[in-house]
């Protein structure tokens, strides 16, 4: 631990003209007293660290000293390609490796290029989670990430709905989608996708063959990776298949021009754009500028929650049950905002036929 910190200190000083004790302490996450002791240890080991006294002072390397400890290790090089996603690095336990890799690259650059990393970081940043979400790091993500890096087979327990199942997996890759981590893995010869937050236990695969795969290596060692596997291509294909698979029902609705613009923001975006494009290329808008579209939706329940957001900009034509349910919601809302003393707010307002508990509404 201390040896790694001393190397990081040398690399920091090599990358910058001078650093104060406070700056080094902050970068290395230690006290200024520890910095002073580490500087003394480096000097005793022959590293020419010089201390400038005074308010503008600090530590610097003299004589153009350059360390030879700038070769990138495998984990550092791999982490460097992910350095644009700092939250992902932290969650996978690779923040230290990425930090060391950036320092080594900076130390190897010409002096006039050493501000490249800072310049890029101040111009480009990726914030992976979606809006209004408080992402939680899956507890087993670091262990799964280690297995992915090492091509190491794992024995895992996984929640499928309300049932816990056991699988022996060959973990091929991790994907972070809208703040949710997914594992692409091979089991029984097939590639599948698993949500990382549904794993309840992960361990190196042993003699037990949890997946029932007769071809599994019972030694629990590394697996032979299929060199033809392409993670981005695999994910794009599976994501498209998933999006299509959940859109099992259809809704016909008439949209105002404003509703046409709003639809992609209240329902599945690709499905909304496809429905709008199809309607515009066939019948087109009517004399009032309204467009009738046939929209693929996950279910009537999901469509109800989504299409409420359109308000008066969308008129549901079919199915009739969904139309009546939205009409009932509109009547209840009108009663809620009716001028007067708050008529319609009570639990029995409007009676069952106007959207009370008997109509299945929320």
pLDDT at site 95 = 73
Residue 255, number of CB atoms within 10 A of its CB = 25
* CA neighbor of 273 nearest in space, from 299, 286, 255: 255
Q: Of the segments 68-72, 100-104, 128-132, which one has the largest average pLDDT value?
A: 100-104
Whole-number pLDDT of residue 339: 61
pTM listed for this prediction? 0.53
Summarised one tens digit per residue, pLDDT across range 312-345 is: 999 999 999 999 999 999 999 888 888 655 554 4
Cβ(162)–Cβ(219) below 8 Å: no
What is the model's pLDDT at position 359? Answer: 35
- pLDDT value at residue 80: 55
What's the confidence (pLDDT) of residue 123? 62
Give dist(CA 47, CA 27) in Å, integer. Answer: 20
Residue 164 has what pLDDT? 92
Residue 17, pLDDT > 90, answer no
- Measure Cα distances from 221 to 152, 186, 209, 225, 329 in Å: 6, 15, 13, 12, 59
Per-residue pLDDT reduced to its tens digit, 112-159: 555 666 655 556 666 666 676 666 788 899 999 999 988 999 999 999
- Per-residue pLDDT at 329: 93
Backbone angles phi, psi at 40, to 5 degrees: -65, -40
Sequence-separated (6 or more) residues with CB below 8 Å from residue 17: 60
Asked whether the CA dihedral 285, 286, 289, 290 is positive or negative, the reply is: negative
């Amino acid at each position: 631990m201390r040896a790694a910190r001393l190397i990081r200190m040398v690399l920091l000083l090599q990358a910058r003209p001078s650093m104060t004790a406070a700056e080094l302490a902050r970068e290395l996450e230690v006290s200024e007293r520890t910095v002073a002791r580490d500087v003394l240890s480096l000097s005793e080991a022959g590293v020419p660290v010089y201390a400038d006294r005074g308010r503008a002072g600090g530590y610097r390397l003299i004589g153009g000293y350059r360390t030879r400890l700038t070769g990138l290790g495998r984990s550092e090089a791999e982490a460097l390609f992910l350095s644009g996603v700092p939250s992902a690095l932290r969650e996978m336990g690779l923040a230290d490796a990425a930090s060391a890799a950036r320092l080594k690259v900076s130390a190897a650059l010409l002096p006039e290029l050493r501000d490249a990393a800072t310049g890029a970081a101040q111009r480009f940043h990726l914030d992976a989670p979606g809006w209004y979400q408080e992402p939680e790091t899956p507890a087993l993500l670091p262990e799964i990430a280690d297995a992915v890096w090492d091509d190491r087979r794992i024995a895992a327990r996984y929640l499928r709905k309300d049932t816990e199942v056991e699988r022996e997996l060959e973990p091929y890759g991790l994907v972070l989608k809208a703040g949710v981590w997914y594992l692409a893995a091979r089991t029984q010869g097939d590639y599948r996708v698993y949500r990382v937050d549904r794993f309840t236990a992960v361990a190196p695969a042993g003699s037990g063959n949890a997946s029932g795969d007769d071809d599994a290596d019972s030694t629990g060692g590394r697996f032979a990776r299929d060199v033809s596997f392409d993670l981005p291509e695999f994910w794009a294909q599976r994501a498209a298949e998933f999006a299509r698979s959940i859109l099992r029902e259809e809704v016909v609705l008439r949209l105002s021009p404003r509703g046409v613009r709003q639809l992609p923001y209240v329902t599945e975006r690709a499905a909304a754009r496809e429905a709008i494009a199809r309607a515009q290329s066939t019948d087109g808008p009517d004399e009032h500028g309204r467009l009738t579209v046939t929209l693929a939706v996950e279910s009537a329940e999901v469509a109800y929650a989504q299409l409420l957001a359109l308000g008066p900009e969308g008129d549901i034509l079919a199915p009739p049950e969904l139309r009546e349910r939205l009409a009932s919601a509109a009547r209840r809302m009108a009663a809620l905002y009716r001028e007067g003393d708050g008529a319609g707010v009570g639990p029995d307002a409007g009676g069952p036929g106007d959207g009370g508990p008997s109509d299945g509404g929320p």
